[in-house]
């Protein structure tokens, strides 16, 4: 039971990472110093998609699930609603490239808005 809970916690952390990679740039309006955290995280997240790397949380989650006696993902909110976002069916290299481009473009928009606002306010 504890391994299932830990695996679910890792999955939620993984989702939070993905959301931060894609949308974290929009938080700069309120927390400008977050740029020092977001830029490397966003670069890492986009590189994961472009190069096809596996992020370190994926093997950890799988290990915890196996130690908890799970062979796959079934049942529950996390399994049905969060898992498909992180591990979509039919994930191919082309889909990964598209996801990387999407994340990159969202961040270009966020940073363009941030720097325009800074320039207008004279910061």
- In 3D space, the residue among 89, 95, 93, 111 whose CA is nearest the CA of residue 43 turns out to be 111
For residue 72, pLDDT over 70 is answered with: no
What is the DSSP track for 24-73? GGGGGGT-GGGHHHHHHHHHHHHHHHHHTPPPTHHHHHHHHHHHTT-SS-
pLDDT at 75: 46
Confidence tier at 11 by pLDDT (50, 70, 90): confident
Q: Which residue has the higher pLDDT, 111 or 69?
A: 111
> What average pLDDT score do residues 87-98 get?
80
Q: Is there a contact between 3 and 64 (Cβ–Cβ < 8 Å)?
A: yes
CA 104 vs. chain centroid, Å, equals 12
> What average pLDDT score do residues 89-96 get?
80
Q: Is there a contact between 64 and 7 (Cβ–Cβ < 8 Å)?
A: yes
pLDDT at 97: 87
Residue 121: CB atoms within 10 Å: 7
Residue 42: CA count within 13 A, CB half-sphere: 23
* pTM score above 0.85: no
For residue 66, pLDDT over 90 is answered with: no
Q: Which residue has the higher pLDDT, 87 or 38?
A: 38
pLDDT in tens, 14-54: 889 889 999 999 999 999 999 999 999 999 988 988 887 77
Domain ranges of the chain: 2-121
């Amino acid at each position: 039971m504890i391994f299932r809970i830990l695996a679910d916690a890792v999955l939620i952390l993984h989702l939070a990472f993905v959301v931060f990679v894609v949308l974290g740039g929009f938080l700069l309006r309120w927390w400008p110093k977050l740029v020092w955290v977001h830029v490397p995280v966003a670069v890492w997240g986009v590189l994961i998609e472009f190069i096809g790397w596996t992020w370190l949380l994926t093997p950890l989650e799988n290990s915890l699930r196996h130690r908890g006696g799970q062979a796959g993902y079934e049942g529950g909110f996390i399994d049905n609603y969060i898992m498909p976002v992180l591990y979509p069916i039919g994930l191919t290299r082309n889909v990964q490239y598209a996801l990387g481009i999407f994340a990159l473009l969202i961040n270009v928009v966020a940073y363009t808005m941030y720097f325009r606002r800074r320039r207008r306010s004279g910061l």
